[in-house]
Amino acid sequence: MAAVDYQQQPGVKLSELWVDKRSRGVIIQIIALILLLLFIGFIVNNTINNLKLLGVETGYGFLNEPSNYDINQRPIEYSSRSSHGRAALVGILNTAIVAGAGIVLATILGFVAGVLRLSGNWLISRLVYVWVELTRNVPLLLQILLWHGIIVHSLPRPQEALSPADGFFLSNRGFSVPSPQFEPGFWAVVIALGVAVAGAIWFAGYAKRVQEQTGKHYPVFTINLALVVGLPLIVFMAMGVPLTLDWPELRGFNFRGGVTVRPEFMALWLALSFYTAAFISENVRAGIQAVSHGQTEASYALGLRPNWTMRLVILPQALRVIIPPLISQYLNLTKNSSLAIAVGYMDIVATIGGISLNQTGRALECMSIVLGLYLAFSLFISTVMNWYNKRVALVER
């Protein structure tokens, strides 16, 4: 039997690492990562040295200094004596609010428009087509300015405000509505709402399993709506109505009390929603058309009505095509909210990336905060939507 040279064996394995396709790919990635880290380290070190030579101080200590400017739309307590960090927090919340509200409205409008594009009614289909093409091909900044001009110049003054209901006033200063004042017992209502939502999620999954196994269909929407609304309402009444309302009143030239949704927010919200909805509608239309027409014919043959066919047969299959590009549209809407400064809506760009930057001169620190926050928003949206995409994805056997 020939002797085995154990001294050469390790050398042979190391030399084969580069020949093997998988190991070679890993080596190239490690080298690329090392080079990238070295490049980033060089940039950071070079920047710090240049700032020292210029005598420019660095650091994030300025976030504790007074901001000395006001913010018109503030979801939390804030004044000009608050710190730059507090101003940044207000900007973050304003960005999250307009992005979240925009995503909800854009999704609703986009799905409705996408379905109407395929309507058998020629007039409705053509009207939606014209709206989609017009909205998609007009720059978003112009649409924001247009909505702001319409709201400010077409609505009446506060003294002549429109009142669709008692305590609700619509004027060129915004939409004034009563603000809730929570009392100590309201925590029980919040817990009841959480329990109701958890129960609704469980029942939706249970109803789906029953339908897949037996074909029996439960009225999931009706039952869940009754659960989510009814249980908190019962607890709310049992706790003695632990909620009061602060009603807006006209005092002088403006409304006092309540909460006012300002024209800047309304213009930005509507422009972002309608602009993004036009793109979402095309994704929905493409997703519906990607489903074989035989699915529709089969459901009609089983006696399903058109609305049930769309809800139970077409849309669940179309979601597998709709969701991946829908994620991109959500990310675009969030990043496009940075145009808020055009109408004076104080988002994260206008606060920490605008006024705070100009007052402190800390351009590097302020812009790193803005970039990091937008990256965090984008990663959060991507993570949630990718999780949902995996849930509705077609599972191959």
Note the pLDDT of residue 1.
45
Condensed to tens digits (0 to 9), the pLDDT of residues 246-263 reads: 888 888 778 888 888 889
Note the pLDDT of residue 75.
85
Task: Give 4's DSSP letter.
Answer: P
Per-residue 3-state assignment (H helix, E strand, C coil) for 175-222? EEECEEEECCCHHHHHHHHHHHHHHHHHHHHHHHHHHHHHCCCCCHHH
- Structure token digits, residue 280: 């979402």
pLDDT greater than 60 at residue 312: yes
pLDDT greater than 80 at residue 192: yes
Distance CA 270, CA 174 (A): 14
Q: Tell me the residue type at 285.
A: R
Which position has the token pair 């007074």?
66
pLDDT greater than 80 at residue 3: no
Local confidence band at 394 (pLDDT 50, 70, 90 cut-offs): low
Q: Tell me the residue type at 134.
A: L
pLDDT greater than 50 at residue 4: no
Local confidence band at 293 (pLDDT 50, 70, 90 cut-offs): confident
**What are 176's strand-pairing partners?**
169, 260
Note the pLDDT of residue 250.
82
Note the pLDDT of residue 14.
57
Q: What is the mean pLDDT of residues 272-296?
A: 90
- Structure token digits, residue 138: 């007009």
Which position has the token pair 């909800």?
104
Note the pLDDT of residue 13.
58
Say which range, 46-50, 91-95, 326-330, 351-355, has the weakest mean pLDDT. Answer: 46-50
Local confidence band at 395 (pLDDT 50, 70, 90 cut-offs): low
pLDDT greater than 80 at residue 397: no
For residues 103, 107, 260 and 374, what is the CA-based torsion angle, rounded to 10 degrees? 10
Say which range, 13-22, 68-77, 170-179, 286-295, has the weakest mean pLDDT. Answer: 13-22
Cα–Cα nearest to 249, from 182, 152, 172, 177 = 177
- Structure token digits, residue 70: 């006001």
Looking at per-residue pLDDT, the higher value among 13 and 164 belongs to 164
- Structure token digits, residue 345: 């809506």
pLDDT greater than 90 at residue 89: yes
Local confidence band at 365 (pLDDT 50, 70, 90 cut-offs): confident
Which position has the token pair 């976030």?
63
Local confidence band at 331 (pLDDT 50, 70, 90 cut-offs): very high
Note the pLDDT of residue 233.
92
**Contact between residue 264 and residue 173 where contact means Cβ atoms under 8 Å apart:** no
Q: Which residues are CB-neighbours of 217 under 8 A, at least 6 positions away? A: 207, 211
Condensed to tens digits (0 to 9), the pLDDT of residues 108-137 reads: 999 999 989 888 888 999 999 999 999 999
Q: What is the mean pLDDT of the chain?
A: 86
pLDDT greater than 80 at residue 209: yes
Distance CA 276, CA 133 (A): 12
pLDDT greater than 70 at residue 5: no
Which own/partner contact pairs does 149-158 have at CB distance under 8 Å and 24+ positions apart?
150/267, 151/263, 151/266, 151/267, 152/263, 158/250, 158/253, 158/254, 158/255
Distance CA 366, CA 85 (A): 11
| Buried b / exposed e along 94-112 (16+ C-beta atoms within 10 A) | bbbbbbebbbebbbebbbe
pLDDT greater than 80 at residue 161: yes
Distance CA 77, CA 79 (A): 7
Domains and CATH numbers, the chain: 84-154+264-392 (1.10.3720.10)
Distance CA 58, CA 87 (A): 20
